[in-house]
């Protein structure tokens, strides 16, 4: 059985349309169940845009079935995703997740379902990512994927048993704060992670993704990444909630090959070269470079 799709939307009609139209072009769209979660407006000013999006949602076709959940209250992205994914994965045991600013290639659903099926019984694999920034494939590398210990929130898939293990309250946070080895382990896959978790626990942000990554770091499990991206993020800009930078260090070229059969390795192994290139994107100095670039752009 194909995994159901969860799509989370808010108030961006144009980007929502682009996301849905790309998803409709997927080879497996008409065989897939789509569940759309529409968050409620933050305030009176947001009502009009939210209602526009909801009016559009009622016109969507092209899927095996479509169910729309409209929240009366504004949950925020984190709570919307946690609640929505929990609801669907509890019924279907697996799920594919998208937000309203992610453009998928026609083979996206094929890739995600193939990954879910291939690694369903491997507890070492935490999730499947549809996105990857540009990373050139080596000629001597025979597989279509590589592995890292960092979850990706830009088009992903997961199983019920992995999702249900996550401690969303991060109840062992103070133990983590006292343990330098655990902090170093978490930081190893991205210089941004420890800081992001600290901000989450101080109540300065509300991110489901950082808590997901923290859980993955504790378990030391892997995310499957494609060599060529099946997803493009169009959410960077002034209307974005979490990605307003003008210069995007995560540039990705979509896989337009229309490939639907993929070579997955088993057992899971980490390729040192791909890991090195992946980790470089999340390094401190690369982050500083793009931070300065976006600041300069904002000034001028």
Residue 167 resides in a domain: no
Residue 192 resides in a domain: no
Cβ(64)–Cβ(30) below 8 Å: yes
pLDDT value of residue 251: 85
pLDDT value of residue 250: 73
Per the structure, the complete domain to which residue 233 belongs is given by: 5-161+222-299
pLDDT average per 10 residues of sequence, the chain (300 residues): 98 98 99 99 97 99 99 98 99 98 98 99 99 94 98 98 98 98 95 96 98 98 98 76 57 94 98 95 54 52
Residue 166 resides in a domain: no
Cβ(53)–Cβ(11) below 8 Å: yes
| Spatial strand order in the sheet of 65-70 | 65-70, 33-38, 5-9, 94-99, 156-159, 125-129, 222-226, 145-148
Backbone angles phi, psi at 136, to 5 degrees: -70, 135
pLDDT value of residue 281: 84
- CATH code for the domain of 86: 3.90.550.10
The model's pTM? 0.92
Number of domains in the chain: 1
- Between CA 197 and CA 205 the distance in angstroms is 9
Residue 233 resides in a domain: yes
For 155-260, list the strands marked E by DSSP: 156-159, 222-226, 231-233
Residue 186 resides in a domain: no
CB within 8 Å of 121: residues ≥ 6 apart: none
Residue 34 resides in a domain: yes
């Amino acid at each position: 059985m194909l995994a159901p799709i969860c799509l989370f939307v808010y108030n961006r009609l144009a980007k929502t349309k682009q996301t849905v139209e790309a998803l409709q072009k997927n080879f497996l769209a008409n065989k897939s169940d789509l569940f759309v979660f529409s968050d409620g407006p933050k305030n009176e000013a947001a009502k009009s845009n939210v209602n526009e999006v909801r009016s559009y949602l009622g016109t969507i076709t092209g899927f095996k079935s479509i169910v729309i959940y409209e929240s009366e209250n504004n949950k925020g992205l984190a709570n919307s995703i946690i609640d929505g994914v929990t609801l669907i994965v509890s019924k279907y045991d697996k799920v594919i997740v998208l937000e309203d600013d992610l453009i998928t290639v026609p083979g996206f659903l094929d890739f995600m379902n193939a990954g879910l099926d291939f690694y369903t019984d491997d507890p070492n694999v935490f999730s499947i990512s549809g996105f990857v920034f540009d990373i050139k494939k080596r000629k001597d590398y025979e597989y279509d994927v590589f592995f890292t210990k960092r979850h990706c929130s830009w088009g992903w898939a997961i199983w019920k048993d992995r999702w249900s293990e996550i401690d969303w309250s991060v109840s062992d946070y103070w133990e983590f704060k006292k343990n330098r080895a655990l902090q170093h382990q978490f930081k190893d896959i991205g210089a941004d992670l420890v800081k992001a978790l600290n901000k989450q626990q101080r109540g300065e942000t509300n991110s489901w993704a950082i808590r997901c990554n923290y859980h993955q770091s504790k378990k030391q499990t892997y995310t499957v990444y494609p060599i060529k991206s099946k997803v493009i993020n169009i959410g960077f800009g002034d209307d974005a909630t979490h990605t307003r930078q003008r210069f995007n260090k995560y540039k990705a070229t979509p896989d337009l090959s229309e490939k639907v059969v993929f070579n997955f390795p088993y057992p899971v192994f980490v390729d040192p070269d791909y890991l090195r290139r992946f980790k470089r994107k999340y390094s401190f100095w690369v982050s500083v470079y793009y931070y300065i670039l976006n600041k300069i752009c904002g000034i001028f």
